[in-house]
Structures are given as structure tokens and as C-alpha cells.
Amino acid sequence: VSITQKVKDYLRKLKASDEVKILRSTLIPDDLFYHGFSTRTGGLSSIPGMKSLNVLYTTAKRDPLVLIEENRRRLASKAGFDVETLYIAKAVHGNTVYEIGTDPPDGGYDGVISNKSNVTCAAPGADCVIILFADPIQHVFAAIHSGWKGTVAKIPSVTVRSMHGKFGSKLEDIVVVMGPSICKNCFEFGKDDIQQFEDINPQCVLHKGLDGNPTIDLKLAIRTLLEEEGVLPEHIDDTTTCPCTVENPNQLYSYRRDGRPFGNQIGFIGLRSN
């Protein structure tokens, strides 16, 4: 048995200080899809900003890959999917959506999409909005990372168009669920850059008087884009699975709150094989 395998076996036996907790929406039909948003409890990471269930590895964060792999295994075990099927978007703050099974796009991608039952689409976040898409008729599903740059670049719209154009989804069949993200009270934004959000929907920009910077309602911007594409308003869940990342330090990771290094939660979705 290799040393790596011995380490993995040892980590598997370690008890976490808390349970793995997953947020789910009733909008995505559970008989067809498994889905959820991870939180920060139930894992083994110990570095303060990444403590417990960090599930995203980067070389800059010093959280060992073997720990993150064990965190992912625990999440998958709790959620009921095979961790080997996990495809996580790269979070490069663009609007590219990768169809699993095709050649990965150059320069990374912020979304993953599929209609196959042997893959799990996932996207990370640590303030940016994680969004899950599902079409129960055509069995298409996607996960995207939509921060302010991705939202302005209209990655939610790109995803809907991909479902409709490539996979034959009817717009009225698509359901969309937003995950944990920074709320409209916490997301301060530079005055010089707010026009991009004014153009989407003036109500996205909340002015705090002469002195304070405005704040941005990122979820409203995303809802506006989705409804413009033809997604039904009642098919968008932007309330039940999206507590504010900044305001919930014991439950969620936040770059704005903790700075670097910071952990990531993910949203995930897959098609059940039965």
C-alpha cells in the first residue's frame, strides 16, 4: 500500500467537529436530479479562512490536496453521488460554459453543463453567486459561478441559451436555483463601475447617501437576466438556498470577510441514473 493511500485511509477515519450540511431547494425535482450547496462544516481543513469543508484546491492556498479530496469525498457521500464524477468550474470570472465530453475551452470556464447521468456539474463560490440550472423534461443540468464580472458578462443568459439552443430545452421548463452569496447589504461597489448594473436593472444599485459607496443586489441582476431570456419568474429560487456568505461566518466561506486565504463552497447537480 502506498504512503498516499495510507494517508487517505487515515484521513477517512478522522472525525470532524461537525456534520456536513447541504442546502437544497424544492424547485429542482428530487426524483430526477440530486443537487445541493455545500457549507463549511463537516470537513478537515484547519487553516482559519478555509477551516473545515473547503472543497476547492489551488496552489496558492496551502490547503493540502489530500485534505480537499477527503472533504469532497465526505460531501459526495452525504449527498449521494460518486466523487469521481465531479466536474468543478474554474471560476475565471468569464462567461464560458463547458459542455462535459467536449474539448475544454482555452482560458478556463465558469460553468459546466451536461445531459448525461454519469457526471456531476459543480461550481465554486466564496461570495460570488453559485447558480444551478435544471430542465426536468430534456434532463439538462448546469452549474455556474457568477460573480459581478460574470453577471455583467451575462453568463446566466449564456447558460439559458446553451440549454435552449444546444439541448432543446423549452424556456418555460428551465428551473434555476441560486446558492450562498454576498447579499445586497454587504456588497459595496465602486461608484465608477455601477453603470454596468444600472444597464441591467437600476434597482440592482442601492445608494447609501453621499458618503458611502453604493451596494449591488447581485441576485436581482441575475434574476433580471434570467427573466429577460424567458425563464419564468416562479421558476427562479433566489431565497431558500442563498444565505449571505459575509454574514454567516460559522456556516459559509467569504473572501470579502476573511481575505486570503479563503475556502470555497460549491453548488452541485447531477442526473439520477434510474
Q: What is the pLDDT of residues 62-94, one digit of tens each?
A: 888 989 999 999 999 999 999 999 999 999 999
Residue 21: predicted pLDDT: 97
Asked whether the beta carbons of 187 and 167 are under 8 A apart, the reply is: no
Least confident of 43-47, 144-148, 173-177: 43-47
To which residue does cell 443568459 refer? 157
Phi, psi of 100 (to 5 degrees): -60, 135
Provide the pLDDT confidence category of residue 210 given band limits of 50, 70 and 90: low
The CATH number that applies at residue 168 is 3.60.140.10
d(CA 137, CA 173): 7
Give the pLDDT confidence of 152-201 residue by residue, as tens digits: 999 999 999 999 999 999 999 999 999 999 999 999 998 888 999 999 99
Instruction: Quote the pTM value.
Output: 0.95
Which range of residues forms the domain containing residue 203? Answer: 3-13+21-271
Work out the angle between the directed axes of helices 218-229 and 155-167 (0-180°, nearest 10). 30
Least confident of 9-18, 170-179, 240-249: 9-18
The total domain count for the chain is 1
Decide: helix, strand or coil at residue 43. coil
Mean pLDDT on 11-15? 81
Residue 211: predicted pLDDT: 67
d(CA 119, CA 8): 23
Task: Judge whether residue 61 has pLDDT over 90.
Answer: no
Asked whether the beta carbons of 34 and 270 are under 8 A apart, the reply is: yes
Whole-number average pLDDT of the chain: 94
Strands (E), the chain: 22-23, 33-38, 86-88, 97-99, 111-114, 120-125, 129-135, 140-146, 175-178, 205-206, 215-216, 236-237, 265-271
Provide the pLDDT confidence category of residue 212 given band limits of 50, 70 and 90: confident
To which residue does cell 495510507 refer? 6
Q: Of the candidates 233, 236, 259, 228, which has an alpha carbon nearest to the alpha carbon of residue 246?
A: 259
Helix locations, 44-154, DSSP H: 65-79, 148-152
